[in-house]
Amino acid sequence: MKFAHIGDLHLGKILNGHSLLEDQRYILDQILHHLKSHRVDCLLIAGDIYDKTIPSSEATEVLNHFLKCLNEQKINVILISGNHDSASRLAFGSSFFKQGNVFIQTHYSNQPIVLEDEYGLIDVYAIPYMNRFDIKKALGLEETPSLKEGYHRLLEQLNLDLEKRNILVAHQFVLGVSEPGEDSSEELLIGGLEEVSSPILEDFDYVALGHIHKPETILNLSGRIRYSGSPLAYSKAEANQLKSMPIFELKTKPDWELKLISLFPQHPVKMVKTTASDVLNGIRGLEMMDYLYLELTDAYFPYAAISEIAKKYPNYLSIFPSHQNYLFQENDEFDHLQKLKPMEIINSWHQRVSGRNLSDEQLGWIQELWNKGEKE
Amino acid sequence: MKFAHIGDLHLGKILNGHSLLEDQRYILDQILHHLKSHRVDCLLIAGDIYDKTIPSSEATEVLNHFLKCLNEQKINVILISGNHDSASRLAFGSSFFKQGNVFIQTHYSNQPIVLEDEYGLIDVYAIPYMNRFDIKKALGLEETPSLKEGYHRLLEQLNLDLEKRNILVAHQFVLGVSEPGEDSSEELLIGGLEEVSSPILEDFDYVALGHIHKPETILNLSGRIRYSGSPLAYSKAEANQLKSMPIFELKTKPDWELKLISLFPQHPVKMVKTTASDVLNGIRGLEMMDYLYLELTDAYFPYAAISEIAKKYPNYLSIFPSHQNYLFQENDEFDHLQKLKPMEIINSWHQRVSGRNLSDEQLGWIQELWNKGEKE
C-alpha cells in the first residue's frame, strides 16, 4: 500500500500581513496531482491543519475542497489535529467523513484504523497533539506525568502487534530534532512544545510526524521516523527551504520504499542578503512576486531606495539592515552631527530619505514649529 | 414518505446572559425521540442552524451529535442555511454528509434533491436564505431586483413538475405572516428581512419555512405552507409559547396527513405579570429553574425583594416594573422629597432598598463625603 505524508498545512496562515491562502490552494493542487500520478492509496496528515483554532471561512473552504478532491480520487485520508487546531471544531462531521474513508482523529484512542492490502493488514495509530494534561485524562492517571513519561505510557497502551505492519501519525516535538528556527511560529507558543521520546517509536514501520516545518527531518537511521515538514515556508527561518512530501510504499514488513517529492510553491519565500543597488539592478533567480526577506548590507540604510524595492517586489515581507544604529555607527558621523544645528540635522535626514534638500519655505515652517516647541 | 419540519435552532443562543446549549441538547433529544417513534424518513431543517456566523465549538458539537444520531437512525436530512448562518462555514464537509444522506444546501441550485417512496418520486427544493443581491448573482441578472420580484423569478427557475410531489424548504419572511415580536432576535437585524411572496408557493405540496419563531404559523388555508416555529423560545415575545414540530406524510399527491407534535422544553421561558409578594409566595406552575421575564405591578418598585426573587428563580431573565419613574410618579411624593435635606433623601432611598435606616455612623461618613464634594 502506498502512503503519502504531509503535515503543518497551517491553512489560513498570514505571513507578515500577506494571506497565503492562494499559495496554499496552489500547493494542495500540486500535492493532489502527485498523489494521483503516484497512485497513492492513503494520505497521512500529521496535524496543524489550520493556523488558528477558529479558522476563517475561506480556510475551511480550502480544506473542504481538498478533502472532497481526495475523496473523488478514492484516496483514504488519516488526519489528526495539531497544537494549532481546535480538536472539537475539527471533529465536526467526522462520523460522516469516516463513511467516505476520511478518518479525522482529534481525541486519543488506542484503537488503530485498520487498512488492508495484498500483503495483509496495516494498523494505523493516529494520535492527535496531546499535552501532559490531555495524557493524564486519556489514561486516567492520578498524577500528571511529564510529557516524555506520559507519551511513553500512551504508546505502551497501543499494544502493537509486531507481526503486522504498524504506522503512527502524531503531532509532537520528538527528541533528536534540532530546535525550530528562531522566528518560526512554533516559537510563539510560550516555551514551545515539550519534547517527547520513547523506544517504542522504533517499533513502527513508519512514524509520520507533524510539528517541525523543516523538510526531511529524520529521526532514525532507517528514515522511518520522520517529519514531512510543512508544504510551504511559514517563517523567516524557513526561507529558501525546498519543501517536500515523502511517499512510501509498505509491502511485506521489511520491504519498503521511500520517495521524496519536491514541492514547488507558486511564490517561494526567499531570504536575500545584499545591497539595495544590487536588488534594484535585479537578483538572478528572484521573481517579482516572490516573498522576500531582504537584509540590506549597505553601510548607510538606503531609505530612499526602500519604496522602489517595495514596488519592484510587492510581496516583500520584511526589509531590514545588517547593521544596527546606522545614524551613530561611525564616530565620524556622530562627531559631525554634534556640530550641526537642529535645522541642519533635520535637513540631512530629509536629504537621506528623499534625496532632496528641504526648501527654504519648508525649513521656515519647521523652524517656526521648533521655536514654538522650545517656548512651551 | 414521512417528513418532519423544524427550523430556527439558533444553536449557541445566549438569552440575557444565559447559555441555552443544555436546553438545546435537551430539545434535540426530544425531537430525535419523536422522529424515531413516528418513523420519520426525512427531517427538513429550514435554516438558522446556529445563532452566529462563527458558532462556538460547543454549538458545533451539538449539531455534530444531532446529525450523527439522525444518521444512525437512518433518517435523511435536508438542511439549509438561514440569515444567521455562515453559508460557507456550514457547507464544510457537505460532500461527505451527502454520502450519508444529509443534504446541506447553502447555495442556490434549481435542481431538486430527489427522494423516492412507493408512490413515486418526490422533488425537494432546498433554497438557503437569500437576499436580493444573492438572487441577482444566482440568476445572473443585470439589475438588482426587489426581493419579492427576484424570489418569484427564482421560483420560476425551478420548473416544477406538477405531476410529481414537490417540497420547498426555504428561509425567508413570507408575506402574510404577522411581524415578529417586538424584541425577537430578528428585529435586531436592521429592518429585519424584506418580505417575499409568489403564487408559485401554492404549487408545492408542502413549503417548510424558517425565520419566524412563532409556532403554527400557517400561510394558506390548506396548511401546506407553514413555519414550524423555533423549537425553543428565544425572546421575550416568545415567552409562554407552546412550541411544536409538524410531521407530515405525503402519500399520493392529494393524499396527505399532518400532525403537530408539542415540544416541551427542559426549562420553559415564561412571562409573568404580578406583584413581588405574589412571586415570593410562589406562583402556581412556575418552577424554580424556569426562565422568567417578570413584570412587577407593585405601585412602588420593591427593590428589597429583588434579591430574594433572584434567589428563588436563579434563571430569571429580566425583572422590570409596569410603571415608569416610580420615585416621582405621585406628586405627593415629589412635594415630600422637595422638603427633605440631602441626607434624608439618601436615607429614605436606603430604607426602601434595604428595609433599614442608615446608622448614625454611616450617615456621618456620607455627610463627610458630601461636604468634601461641595467644597470641590
Predicted confidence (pLDDT) per residue in A166-185, tens digit = 999 999 988 755 444 444 54
Last residue of a domain, one of A246, A263, A280: A263
Do residues A130 and A274 share a domain?
no
Overall average pLDDT of the A103-128 stretch: 96
Do residues A291 and A202 share a domain?
no
Do residues A256 and A132 share a domain?
yes
What's the confidence (pLDDT) of residue A355? Answer: 65
Cβ separation B93–A88 shorter than 8 A: no
What's the confidence (pLDDT) of residue A188? Answer: 36
Do residues B345 and B246 share a domain?
no
Do residues B213 and B285 share a domain?
no
What is the span of the domain harbouring residue B305? 267-339
Residue A193 · residue A172 · CB < 8 Å: yes
How much of chain B is helix, strand and coil, in % rounded to 5? Answer: 35, 25, 40
Model confidence pLDDT, tens digit, residues A334-347: 667 777 788 888 88
Nearest chain A residue to B59 by CA distance is A89
DSSP B279-300: HHH--TT--TTSEEEEEE--SS
The residue among B58, B96, B99, B107 with the most chain A CBs within 10 A of its CB, best to mutate, is: B96
Helix B303-312 and helix B342-354, axial crossing angle in degrees, nearest 10: 20
What's the confidence (pLDDT) of residue A324? Answer: 57
Which of B64, B71, B88 is facing A91, going by the closest CB pair?
B64
Cβ separation B95–A71 shorter than 8 A: yes
Judged by average pLDDT, the poorest of A46-50, A195-199, A364-368, B3-7 is A195-199
Predicted ipTM beyond 0.85: no
Domain containing residue A283: CATH number:
3.30.160
Q: Can you list the positions of beta strands (E) in A235-347?
A: 244-250, 256-262, 269-274, 291-296, 316-321
Angle at B231 between CA B229 and CA B233, to 5 degrees: 85
Q: Is the pLDDT of residue A21 over 80?
A: yes
Size of interface A-B (CB pairs under 8 A): 69
Do residues B235 and B308 share a domain?
no
B278, containing H or E segment: helix B276-281
Q: Which residues of A have a CB under 8 Å from any CB of B? A: 54, 57-58, 60-61, 63-64, 67-68, 71, 86, 88-89, 91-97, 99-100, 102
Last residue of a domain, one of A263, A281, A305: A263
Domain containing residue B187: CATH number:
3.60.21.10
Q: Is the pLDDT of residue A359 over 60?
A: yes
Helix A21-37 and helix A57-72, axial crossing angle in degrees, nearest 10: 10
Cβ separation B100–A99 shorter than 8 A: yes
- Rounded Cα gap, residues B125 and B6, in angstroms: 16
Cβ separation A61–B100 shorter than 8 A: no
Overall average pLDDT of the A16-37 stretch: 96
Residue B190's pLDDT band (cuts 50, 70, 90): very low
For A282-341, where are the alpha helices, taking DSSP H only? 303-312, 331-338
Do residues A204 and A291 share a domain?
no
Residue type, A116: E
Cβ separation A60–B88 shorter than 8 A: yes
Do residues A297 and A187 share a domain?
no
- Rounded Cα gap, residues B346 and A307, in angstroms: 67
Do residues A118 and A198 share a domain?
yes
3-state secondary structure of A336: helix
Residue (of B329, B359, B335, B333) closest to B347 by Cα position: B359
CB atoms within 10 A of CB A168: 25
Q: Which residues of B fall within a CB distance of 8 Å from A68? A: 95-96
C-alpha distances out from residue A163 to A159, A247, A252, B85, Å = 12, 23, 10, 50
Residues 6+ apart with CB under 8 A from B286: B270, B272, B292, B313
Overall average pLDDT of the B185-198 stretch: 55
Q: Is the pLDDT of residue B376 over 70?
A: no
Cβ separation B92–A58 shorter than 8 A: no
Distance to chain B for A130, nearest Cα, Å: 18
Which of B54, B71, B91 is facing A96, going by the closest CB pair?
B71
Do residues A219 and A367 share a domain?
no
Residues 6+ apart with CB under 8 A from B61: A88, A91, A92
Distance to chain A for B100, nearest Cα, Å: 6
What's the confidence (pLDDT) of residue B115? Answer: 96
Last residue of a domain, one of B214, B240, B263: B263
Do residues B232 and B282 share a domain?
no
Evaluated on CA atoms B250, B252, B253, B259, the torsion sign reads negative
Distance to chain A for B60, nearest Cα, Å: 7
- Rounded Cα gap, residues A182 and A332, in angstroms: 35
3-state secondary structure of A84: coil
What's the confidence (pLDDT) of residue A375? Answer: 73
CB atoms within 10 A of CB B373: 8
Cβ separation A95–B71 shorter than 8 A: yes
Distance to chain B for A13, nearest Cα, Å: 18
- pTM (predicted TM-score): 0.77
Residue A10's pLDDT band (cuts 50, 70, 90): very high
Overall average pLDDT of the A128-151 stretch: 92
Residue A328's pLDDT band (cuts 50, 70, 90): very low
Do residues A283 and A355 share a domain?
no
Tell me A78's DSSP state.
E
Q: The C-alpha cell of B31 is what?
A: 425531537
Residue B178's pLDDT band (cuts 50, 70, 90): very low
DSSP A39-73: T-SEEEEES--BSSSS--HHHHHHHHHHHHHHHHT
Q: The C-alpha cell of A113 is what?
A: 484504523
Number of domains in chain A: 3
Residue (of A196, A200, A265, A267) closest to A230 by Cα position: A265
Model confidence pLDDT, tens digit, residues B296-314: 988 777 888 888 999 999 9
DSSP B322-373: SSS-GGGSSHHHHHHHHTS-HHHHHHHHHHHHHSSPPPHHHHHHHHHHHHHH
- Rounded Cα gap, residues B154 and A101, in angstroms: 37
